[in-house]
C-alpha cells in the first residue's frame, strides 16, 4: 500500500505530471473527476480530498454534504491523451464520510463490500465484459444520428473509420494498462465491440469506466462520436455488455469440474440458478434506463426470457463451451446487461444473486435448447421461461420488493436508485414521441 503510494509520488515527479484527476463514479455510473495538483497528492493519500458530495447524483443527502475522496494508488495511470510531457494522470477513489467511515453511497464501496462477502466464503469474483457501442458522425443535438459507416454513396473508404478507430482505441487502452481481448465490427452499422480481458471484478469495473472515457476521447480526436446508449437506432441491434463471470477458490476455478455436465461444477450450477431466480429483480440495475428496455425487447439476440442454455444465443445465461483442458476458463455469461449500466452496482447484484444461489443450494432448472424467441407465449409459459421486465416501470416494481438488491446496494443507494428511476420513468411517460405523431396525428 505505502509502497504503491511512494511509487505514485515518484512517477508524478519523474513524468512531470501537472494534474492528477481523481475519479469516482456516481450512483448512475457517470464518471466524476476532481483535478488536483501534484503538491496536494501527498495530503490526498494521507487524509483524502474533501468535496461537496451533494453536487453528485445519489452520493449524499444534502445535510451531510462533505465527503472525502481517497485515491487508490493501485489504480494510478498516466492519461495518454493529454499531451506528451506535462501530462495528466488519474486514480480511482474510494469515498469516505468525514469520520473516515466508507461512504455507504459510493458504488465502488458497494462492490468492495459485496466482494468481501464473497471472499468470506472463500471466493474471488472475476469478470470479462464484451462492450458494444456505436460510432456516429458528429451531429447537432436534435438531429438524427448517422452511423459512421453507412455514410453515403460517395465515401470511398466506407469501412475505414471504424477500423482506424478501433486500432487507435486499443492502443490507447493498452497504454493505460487495460488488456483487450478481442475487437470486431458488430452487426449494426457503425457498431463495434471490444472485449476486455478477464480480471477481478473491481479492476474490471474500473476498466469499464476508463474504457468508456477512452472511447469517447478517441472518437473526439477522430472527429466522430461514440455512444453507449443501449438502443440508439430503431432498426439496428442494441449495445449490450455481455458479461462472463467465474468464481475462483484461490487459484482454482470453482466453476470447473471435469466430470460435471458441460464441465460445470455444482457451485457453477447453483450460481446460475441464483442468477436466474433473481434476474427480474436485478434488471433495474443491469438495465437502468428507459431506453434499455428497447434493446431488451427489440429481438436480435437480446435475451428477454429467463432461461439458460449452452451456446444458445437467445438464453439469458449462456455457458460458453471451453476447450478440453482449459478448465480454468470455465465461466457463465450473463447477456442482459447493457453498456450503459453502472458496472460497480451491476457486478455487485450479479455476484450477490449468484452467491445467494450457492448459499441456498438452488437447483438449476433444465437448460433451453430452442430459440426462445421462436416459441409461442403458451409454449414459453409451459416450459417455465419467465419474461424479464418489459419496461423500466416493471423493473422498478420488481426491484422494490427485492431484499437481495436492498442488502447488496445498502439502503441508501437502493432508495436513491428507486427514486431516481421512478422519476425517469415518469418524465419519459409524459413525452409525446415522434412515433405517436407519425402514427396518430393524421389519422385521428
Partner 1 sequence: MSAREVSFTTLLRRAGAADPTRAAGLVEEIQEIVGIEFQDPATLVSYLADPDAGLLQLVRLAEAARDAGHVDTLRGLAATEAGAKLGVLLGGSLALGDFLIRHPELLGDFEAWADAPPFPEIDVRAALLEAVGADPADDAPVAAIGGAEGQRAMRVAYRRALMRVASEDLYSHAPPTLMPAVGAALADLAGAALEAGLAIARHDEPDHAATRLAIIAMGKCGARELNYVSDVDVIYVAEPAEGVEDDRSLRVATRLAVAAAKTCSGMGVEPALWEVDPNLRPEGRDGPLVRNVSAHRAYYERWAETWEFQALLKARPVAGDPEVGERYIEAMWPMVWSAVERDGFVESAQAMRRRVEQHVPAAEADRQIKLGPGGLRDVEFTIQMLQLVHGRADESLRVRGTLDALARLRAGGYVGRPQAATMDRSYRQLRVWEHRLQMRKLTRTHLMPEGDQERRVLARASGFATVHYMDEVWTDIRRDVRAMHLEMFYRPILPVVARLSADEARLDDAAARARLAAVGFVDPAGAYRHIQALTEGVSRSAAIQRQLMPAMIGWFAQGADPDAGLLAFRQLSEQLSSSQWYLKLLRDSATAAERLARLLSTSGYVARALLASGEAVTWLDRDEDLVPRAYDRLWGEADAVLRRSNDPPQAITALRGLRRRELSRVAAADVLGMINASRAALAVSHAADMVIEGALRIAQHQVREARGLDALPIRFAVIAMGRYGGLEMGYQSDADVQFVWDGDTKDGQAIAVQIAQELRTLLQKVGPQPPLEIDADLRPEGRNGPLARSLASCTEYYGRWADPWEAQALLRARPCAGDTDLREAFVRMIDGVRYPERLPDGALKQMRLLKARMEAERLPRGIDPRRHLKLGPGGLSDVEWVVQLTQLRHGHAHPELRTTITLEALAAAADLDLISRPDATQLRSAWVLATDLRGALALRGNVRDTDVLPGDVRELGVLAGILGSSLTGSQLDERYSRNARRARGVTERLFFGWDEDAR
Decide if residue 408 touches partner 1 (CB under 8 A): no
Is 359 a residue that touches partner 1 (CB under 8 A)? no
| Contact letters for partner 1, residues 89-108 (x by CB under 8 A) | --------xxx-xx-x----
> Taking CB under 8 A as the rule, does residue 14 contact partner 1?
no
> Residue 322: which residues within 8 A CB-CB, separation 6 or more?
263, 329, 330, 331
Give the three cell numbers for residue 321: 463451451
422 touches partner 1 by CB under 8 A? no
Least gap, CB of 288 to partner 1 (angstroms): 20
Alpha-carbon radius of gyration of the chain: 22
Asked if 168 interacts with partner 1 (CB under 8 A), we say no
- Of 395, 313, 380, residue with least CA distance to 349: 395
Contacts of 204 (CB under 8 A, 6+ apart): 126, 127, 128, 129, 196, 343, 347
- Sequence-ordered alpha helix ranges (H) in 72-180: 107-120, 160-175
- Single out the residue of 52, 181, 379, 411 in contact with partner 1 (rule: CB under 8 A): 411
Name residue 52's beta-bridge partners. 66
Interacting residues of 284 by C-beta distance below 8 A, sequence separation 6+: 389, 392, 395, 396, 398, 399, 405, 417, 421
Compute the distance between CA of residue 386 and CA of residue 381 in angstroms, rounded to an integer.
7
Q: Which of 184, 252, 401, 429 binds partner 1 (CB under 8 A)?
A: 401
* Site size for partner 1 (CB under 8 A): 23
Binding mask 246-275 for partner 1 (x = CB under 8 A): ------------------------------
User: Which whole-number Å values give the CA distances from 385 to 18, 68, 194, 283, 408, in the listed order?
Assistant: 56, 46, 30, 16, 26
**DSSP letter for each residue of 277-341:** HHHHHHHHHHS-STTHHHHHTS-TT---EE-EEES-TTSSEEE----TT-GGG--EEE---BTTS
Binding of residue 410 to partner 1 (CB under 8 A): yes
Instruction: Decide whether 5 or 292 has the Cβ nearer to partner 1.
Output: 5
Between 407 and 424, name the residue whose CB sits nearer to partner 1: 407
DSSP character for 374? G
Least Å from the CB of residue 188 to partner 1 = 39
Residue 64 Cβ, how far from partner 1 at the closest point, in Å?
Answer: 5
Of the pair 302, 409, the CB lying nearest partner 1 is at 409
**Which one of 57, 394, 415, 424 is in contact with partner 1 (CB under 8 A)?**
415
Strands 305-306 and 386-387: antiparallel
In angstroms, give the least distance from the CB of 104 to partner 1.
Answer: 6
**Nearer Cβ to partner 1 (101/174):** 101
Name which position in 31, 78, 151, 406 contacts partner 1 (CB under 8 A). Answer: 406
Nearer to partner 1 by Cβ, of 64 and 174: the residue is 64
Instruction: Give the one residue of 14, 39, 63, 378 binding partner 1; rule: CB under 8 A.
Output: 63
Coil/strand/helix, residue 77? strand
Query: Under the rule (CB under 8 A), what is the footprint of partner 1?
Result: 1-3, 5-6, 42, 61, 63-64, 97-99, 101-102, 104, 401, 406-407, 410-412, 414-415
Amino acid at each position: 500500500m505505502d509502497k504503491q503510494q511512494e511509487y505514485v509520488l515518484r512517477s508524478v515527479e519523474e513524468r512531470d505530471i501537472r494534474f492528477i484527476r481523481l475519479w469516482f463514479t456516481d450512483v448512475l455510473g457517470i464518471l466524476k473527476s476532481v483535478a488536483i495538483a501534484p503538491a496536494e497528492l501527498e495530503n490526498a493519500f494521507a487524509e483524502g480530498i474533501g468535496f461537496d458530495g451533494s453536487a453528485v447524483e445519489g452520493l449524499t443527502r444534502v445535510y451531510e454534504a462533505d465527503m472525502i475522496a481517497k485515491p487508490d494508488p493501485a489504480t494510478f495511470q498516466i492519461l495518454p491523451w493529454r499531451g506528451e510531457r506535462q501530462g495528466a494522470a488519474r486514480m480511482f477513489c474510494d469515498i469516505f464520510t468525514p469520520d473516515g467511515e466508507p461512504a455507504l453511497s459510493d458504488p465502488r464501496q458497494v462492490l468492495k463490500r459485496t466482494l468481501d462477502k464473497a471472499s468470506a466464503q472463500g471466493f474471488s469474483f472475476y469478470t470479462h465484459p464484451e462492450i458494444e457501442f456505436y460510432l456516429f458522425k458528429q451531429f447537432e443535438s436534435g438531429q438524427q444520428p448517422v452511423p459512421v459507416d453507412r455514410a453515403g454513396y460517395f465515401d470511398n473508404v466506407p469501412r475505414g473509420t471504424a477500423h482506424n478507430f478501433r486500432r487507435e482505441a486499443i492502443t490507447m487502452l493498452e497504454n493505460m494498462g487495460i488488456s483487450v481481448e478481442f475487437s470486431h465490427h458488430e452487426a449494426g452499422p457503425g457498431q463495434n465491440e471490444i472485449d476486455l480481458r478477464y480480471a477481478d471484478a473491481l479492476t474490471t469495473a474500473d476498466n469499464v469506466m476508463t474504457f468508456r472515457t477512452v472511447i469517447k476521447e478517441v472518437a473526439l480526436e477522430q472527429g466522430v462520436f461514440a455512444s453507449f446508449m443501449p438502443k440508439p437506432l430503431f432498426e439496428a441491434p442494441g449495445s449490450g455488455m455481455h458479461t462472463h463471470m467465474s468464481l475462483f477458490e484461490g487459484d482454482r476455478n470453482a466453476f470447473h469440474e471435469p466430470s460435471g455436465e458441460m464441465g460445470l461444477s455444482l457451485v457453477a450450477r447453483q450460481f446460475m440458478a441464483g442468477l436466474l431466480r433473481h434476474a427480474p429483480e436485478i434488471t433495474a440495475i443491469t438495465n437502468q434506463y428507459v431506453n434499455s428496455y428497447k434493446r431488451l425487447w427489440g429481438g436480435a439476440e437480446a435475451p428477454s426470457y429467463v432461461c439458460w442454455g449452452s451456446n444458445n444465443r437467445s438464453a439469458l445465461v449462456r455457458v460458453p463451451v471451453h476447450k478440453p483442458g482449459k478448465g480454468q476458463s470455465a465461466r457463465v455469461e450473463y447477456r442482459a446487461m447493457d453498456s450503459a449500466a453502472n458496472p460497480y452496482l451491476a457486478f455487485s447484484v450479479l455476484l450477490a444473486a449468484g452467491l445467494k444461489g450457492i448459499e441456498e443450494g438452488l437447483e438449476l432448472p433444465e437448460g433451453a435448447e430452442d430459440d426462445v424467441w421462436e416459441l409461442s407465449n403458451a409454449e414459453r409459459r409451459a416450459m417455465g421461461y419467465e419474461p424479464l421486465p418489459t419496461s423500466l416501470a416493471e423493473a422498478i416494481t420488481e426491484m422494490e420488493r427485492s431484499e437481495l438488491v436492498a442488502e447488496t446496494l445498502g439502503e441508501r443507494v437502493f432508495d436513491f436508485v428507486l427514486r431516481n428511476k421512478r422519476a425517469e420513468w415518469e418524465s419519459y411517460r409524459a413525452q409525446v414521441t415522434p412515433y405517436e405523431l407519425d402514427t396518430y396525428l393524421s389519422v385521428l
